[in-house]
């Protein structure tokens, strides 16, 4: 199963996603609260996949996905967005994100997004 890095400024969202991922057998190898941490942790942990919230303090998920993809072109990124962030989701996909999931997280949708990336 995949080694996954979760980055979201809301602890509750990280916990929710972590619980879903662990339940289906993935390993959460790290958690971050903003885009800067996402980049640092990506370099350090080299995860199979990173989930990035779009809106975060210090550096957005959008900026982080651009940086990560510049340094690691084969990085697999799933964006997490609130409803109504379609424009930013499109920008994130253009920047190299593979997929997106909408909050509140639907377990089946999360699992489906991850399976599509690895199959």
Rg (CA), the chain: 12
pLDDT tens, position by position, 13-51 = 999 999 999 999 999 999 999 999 999 999 999 999 999
Strand 27-32 and strand 77-81: the pairing is unpaired
Edge to edge, what strands does the sheet with 99-102 contain? 27-32, 3-7, 49-53, 77-81, 99-102
Q: Give 5's DSSP letter.
A: E
pLDDT tens, position by position, 63-107 = 999 999 999 999 999 999 887 778 888 899 999 999 999 999 999
Domain assignment of residue 37, given as a range: 3-118
CATH number of the domain where residue 98 is located: 3.40.50.2300
The tally of domains found in the chain comes to 1
């Amino acid at each position: 199963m995949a080694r996954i890095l979760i980055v979201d400024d809301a602890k509750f969202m990280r916990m929710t996603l972590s619980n879903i991922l662990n339940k289906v057998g993935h390993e959460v190898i790290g958690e971050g609260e903003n885009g800067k941490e996402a980049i640092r942790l990506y370099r350090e942990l080299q995860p199979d996949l990173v989930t990035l919230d779009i809106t975060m303090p210090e550096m957005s998920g959008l900026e982080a996905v651009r940086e990560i993809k510049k340094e690691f072109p084969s990085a697999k990124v799933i964006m997490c967005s609130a409803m109504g962030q379609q424009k930013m989701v499109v920008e994130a996909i253009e920047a190299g994100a593979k997929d997106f999931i909408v909050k509140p997280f639907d377990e089946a949708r999360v699992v489906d997004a991850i399976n599509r990336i690895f199959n």
